[in-house]
Amino acid sequence: MGALADAGLSMSDVDGYFGARDQPGPNAAYMVDYLNLKLRHYDTTDTGGCSYLMHIAHAAQAIAAGKCNVALLTLAGRPRSEGMATGTAARVGEPDRPDVPWESPYRNTIATQYGMMAARHMHLYGTTAEQLAWVRVAASTHAQHNPNAMFRKPVTVEDVVNSPVIADPLHRLDCCVISDGGGALVLVRPEIARSLKRPLIPVLGAGETIYTQNAGYPDLVTTGASRSGPAAFAEAGVTPRDIQYASIYDNFTIMVIAQLEDLGFCKKGEGGRFVQDGGLISGQGKLPWNTDGGGLCNNHPNNRGGMTKAIEAVRQLRGEAHTAVQVPDCSLALACGPGGVMGSGHGHATVIFGRE
Amino acid sequence: MSFEQILAQHPHSKPFWEATARAELVLPTCTGCSRAHWYPRPFCPFCGSVDLQWKRSSGRGKIHSASFMRRAAEPYIVVAVELEEGPILLSNLVEAPLDQPAIDSAVQVVFKQLDDGRTVPMFKPA
């Protein structure tokens, strides 16, 4: 309702709905019923945390195809209030999942999975714990300006590497928060957008993939951004060098480094050097990133970070980010993220937004 | 989930568990393109052939990556083991110091029986 009010629209204008499995009940139809929407188009693509980034692309496609005029995208969840130990609980998995009989005995957790990713990245490229820590330092530097952030106190590299190890080589401060929260986006037909009194933020390009385990020959250090990124850049007709602001899903510090490489902001293996010494700090570094504090410091609603990544990118393009972190005259921004878990077949989506 | 339920939902897994009960690690291997894949499927995910054999693995491999789960009541080590035959298996490193192991170090399969009756492959330093 906030997103619709912001757009100057109401529930009765919505004729397309996009939702994922964060919704109560078995599918998003219950949310449509709850909101009492009168729809012409409905899409419940679910790829975990990046679902909402895929929904942006799918909504743009549906609008272009004439399937709907006003698309509403939502996310909400309360894992913190509901006492979920997302990262450190052994993941048994749904029993009918094809990989579960062979993986459930080993008590793999989200933290150990990303620990293996970080360990391998360090082994191959010499990435250091201090470089991982710089990602958290950037997030916390931004979060101090966000009154809604869970962790607002700036931290140092020493704070991160001196925090307890959860799963080698990841420290507590390499891990994102578990938080309640939610978000919504409205995408509308260009003619309708021009009739509204809000800045025009077009979707210039998008890419999506499911990056598999390659049937027993997985690449633990490469993310689906290696596929969704180039597709999004090609469609938008821009390059990583043109991007003025990036929201990159930060479930763990190592994931930001790997996605920066896979998107082409630097060569594979050089992500650690890219982020060190404040490389991601707005006003200071090469690439202003997650200026809301991201998943590391701000929020992680429903353990799904895609929606909030898009929202902060839109804030930057509208010039509505906090003045301390606003990128001057921001006109080209990227939002991307994974869904599911690295190394076990994960989704990935990238969206590039402009400003008219 | 009981062993019976696993077999009901994953009927093609039966020969694998019969082999582990004999302390043998077998890999689904394509008779067409000769590649072993993992986790097991009843078809070759590389060439699409359904002509597969369960081939016995040497059980030797090296640590592709690892993470020592310190934040657990009883800490344990999760590893991705690259077998000599090629595939990378998720497993646990056992009979080893409780610490982060070195990548590329040699490991050898061992078999552990679970409470549900299954015998599963784990790895120890070679």
Mean pLDDT score across all residues of chain A? 95
Residues A170, A127 contacting (CB under 8 angstroms): no
**A108-178+202-354 topology per CATH:** Peroxisomal Thiolase; Chain A, domain 1 (3.40.47)
Q: What is the nearest CA distance from A40 to chain B, expressed in angstroms?
A: 38
Label residue B108 by pLDDT band (50, 70, 90). Answer: very high
The answer to whether the beta carbons of residues B26 and B2 sit under 8 Å apart is no
Chain A positions contacting chain B at CB under 8 Å are: 88, 95-96, 98-99, 101-109, 111-113, 115-117, 119-120, 123, 164-170, 215-218, 220, 343
Share of chain A above pLDDT 90, in %: 85
Contact A174, A254 (CB under 8 A): yes
The torsion of the CA quartet A223, A226, A229, A232, rounded to 10 degrees, works out to -130
Query: What CA–CA distance (Å, rounded) separates A234 from A232?
Result: 5
Q: Measured between beta carbons, which residues in chain B are less than 8 angstroms from residue A104?
A: 1
Asked whether residue A158 carries a pLDDT value surpassing 90, the answer given is yes
CB B80 to CB A95 under 8 A?
no
Distance between CA B122 and CA A169 in Å, rounded? 22
pLDDT mean over A266-283: 98
pLDDT at position A28 is 87
SS3 A324: coil
Pairwise CA distance, residues A116 & A106, whole Å: 14
Question: What are the pLDDT digits (tens) for B48-96?
Answer: 999 999 999 999 999 999 999 999 999 999 999 999 999 999 999 999 9
Provide the CATH number for the domain around residue B90. 2.40.50.840
Please say if the pLDDT value at position A148 is more than 80: yes
Per-residue model confidence (pLDDT) at position A344: 74
Q: What is the pLDDT of residues A63-94, one digit of tens each?
A: 999 999 999 999 998 888 887 766 677 777 78
Confidence (pLDDT) at A79: 86
Domain count, chain B: 1
Give the mean pLDDT of chain B: 96
pTM: 0.96
Range of the domain at B110: 3-125
Domain locations in chain A? 2-79+182-195, 108-178+202-354
pLDDT at position A86 is 65
Question: What is the average pLDDT across A275-282?
Answer: 98
Average of pLDDT values for A200-214? Answer: 97
Domain A2-79+182-195 has CATH 3.30.450.260: no
The answer to whether A327 and A340 are in contact (CB under 8 A) is no
- What value of ipTM does the predicted structure carry? 0.97
